[in-house]
Every structure is written in structure tokens, then in C-alpha cells.
């Protein structure tokens, strides 16, 4: 059976997986500290440290999401768009078409198109358009606060945690699709929560009870 293992697409997909794995950990760190902030403060132990970690987590979230959804042709990116640029060169005979159709259907893409790679790209663009304002805010944070430090720039709010999770989930679903439908290998588990469990245990060791772990 033909496989794309070891090709540029495979290597880019591995790069995407690493970005997503880091994003998962940062989302969990940001969430746990945020929803338990009052209890951490009341405990009076480590509140400055946890506040610093929370700030760094949200900066990393902004940077990772920007990288995952970056869509330009000047550089060879490990982004979703960077992978899509190479998928249209793949022989359609080797595709697992059923899995591609499932992905397109899940994200309300154009199923009427016979060119499945083109339909996949249209699905991605439609999803990016849905979260256009959120992605734009992450882009501003990346350009004006993280990569550069512009004078007198004030960014008061970021997209909701729900939007962050939706952007993460789409990225994971795309990575898994490329792994199974193109490269023909089982994907890594990017939804494990080992860092989250470690942080919960740390908070428990500090004597914090009834730890919340979800942003409602």
C-alpha cells in the first residue's frame, strides 16, 4: 500500500502535531489557573508564580494558534495551510476518500466538489473565515506584543476559551486526517492531559480543595 511516510507532507504534519501538543498543555495550564485563581490567592502560596505562568501560557496560546493557522506562501510552514499546499500534488488514487468526506462533512465543507483536495482546502478556508475575528486578534497579539513590543499598544481582551478549544480541535482533526488518509499511519494522541493532571496534583499538594478544571 502506498504511503507518504518520510515525505515533506509527513514531516510537516509531525511539525503541526508538535505545535498542537504544546497548545493542548498551554490551554490546560491557562484554564486550571484561571478557574482556581481565587482559591490560589486565598491560600496565599505561590500566587505571583501562578500569575506569571498564566500570563506566559496565554502568550504561548496566542503564538501557537497563529502558527497553526498561518496561511502564506513565502515559507515552508508546518501550519495547516502549509500542509494543504502540498496535498494537491498527491495522486488521488492513494487517498482514503471516505475519511476526507467525513472531515468535510463535520466542518460543513463543500461535498459537491469532485476534487477532494480542493474541497478540503475550501473547508479550511471556510473554518478560518468563521473564526476570522478571533484569528485576527491572535495575530495582533503575536505581531505587537510577542514577536515585537510596540509602544503604547493595549490589548484588553483575547478570544474566548471556547474559541481557543474549537481552533485546537480543528487542528487535531486535520492532523489526524492527514496521518490516516494520506500518510497511512496511526496519529499521536494529542488530546492526552498529562500536564493538566500534574498541575492538579500540585494544587492539591498545596492544600487547595475542590479544584475546578473546566471553563464553563
Q: Is 207 helix (H, G, I), strand (E, B) or coil?
A: coil
pLDDT recorded at residue 151: 47
pLDDT recorded at residue 91: 63
CA–CA separation, 23 and 53 (whole Å):
14
Position 155 in a domain: yes
Model confidence pTM above 0.95: no
Q: How confident is the prediction along the chain (216 residues), in pLDDT tens digits per residue?
A: 466 777 889 999 999 999 999 999 999 999 999 999 999 999 988 899 999 999 999 989 999 999 999 987 777 889 999 999 988 777 655 668 889 999 999 999 998 888 888 999 999 999 999 999 999 988 887 766 655 554 444 556 788 999 999 999 999 999 999 999 888 888 999 988 999 999 999 999 999 989 998 886
Position 79 in a domain: yes
Position 213 in a domain: no
Position 194 in a domain: yes
Alpha-carbon 194 to chain mean position: 17
CB atoms within 10 A of CB 2: 11
Position 216 in a domain: no
CB atoms within 10 A of CB 113: 15
CA–CA separation, 136 and 125 (whole Å):
14
- The number of domains in the chain is 1
Position 121 in a domain: yes
Domain assignment of residue 119, given as a range: 8-205
Position 214 in a domain: no
Do the Cβ atoms of 4 and 184 come closer than 8 Å? yes
Position 212 in a domain: no
Amino acid at each position: 500500500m502506498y504511503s507518504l511516510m518520510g515525505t515533506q507532507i509527513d514531516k510537516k504534519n509531525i511539525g503541526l502535531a508538535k505545535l498542537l501538543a504544546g497548545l493542548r498543555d498551554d490551554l490546560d495550564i491557562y484554564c486550571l489557573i484561571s478557574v482556581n485563581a481565587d482559591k490560589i490567592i486565598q491560600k496565599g502560596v505561590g500566587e505571583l508564580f501562578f500569575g506569571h505562568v498564566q500570563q506566559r501560557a496565554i502568550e504561548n496560546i496566542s503564538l501557537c494558534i497563529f502558527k497553526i493557522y498561518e496561511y502564506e506562501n513565502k515559507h515552508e510552514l508546518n501550519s495547516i495551510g502549509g500542509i494543504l499546499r502540498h496535498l494537491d500534488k498527491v495522486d488521488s488514487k492513494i487517498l482514503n476518500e471516505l475519511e476526507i468526506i467525513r472531515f468535510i462533512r463535520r466542518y460543513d465543507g463543500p461535498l459537491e466538489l469532485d476534487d477532494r483536495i480542493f474541497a478540503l482546502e475550501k473547508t479550511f478556508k471556510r473554518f478560518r473565515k468563521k473564526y476570522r475575528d478571533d484569528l485576527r486578534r491572535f495575530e495582533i497579539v503575536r505581531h505587537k506584543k510577542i514577536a515585537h513590543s510596540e509602544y503604547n499598544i493595549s490589548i484588553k481582551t483575547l478570544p474566548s476559551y471556547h474559541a481557543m478549544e474549537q481552533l485546537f480541535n480543528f487542528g487535531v482533526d486535520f492532523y489526524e486526517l492527514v496521518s490516516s488518509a494520506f500518510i497511512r499511519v496511526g496519529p499521536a494522541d494529542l488530546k492526552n492531559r498529562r500536564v493538566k493532571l500534574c498541575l492538579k496534583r500540585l494544587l492539591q499538594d498545596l492544600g487547595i480543595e475542590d479544584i475546578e478544571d473546566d471553563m464553563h
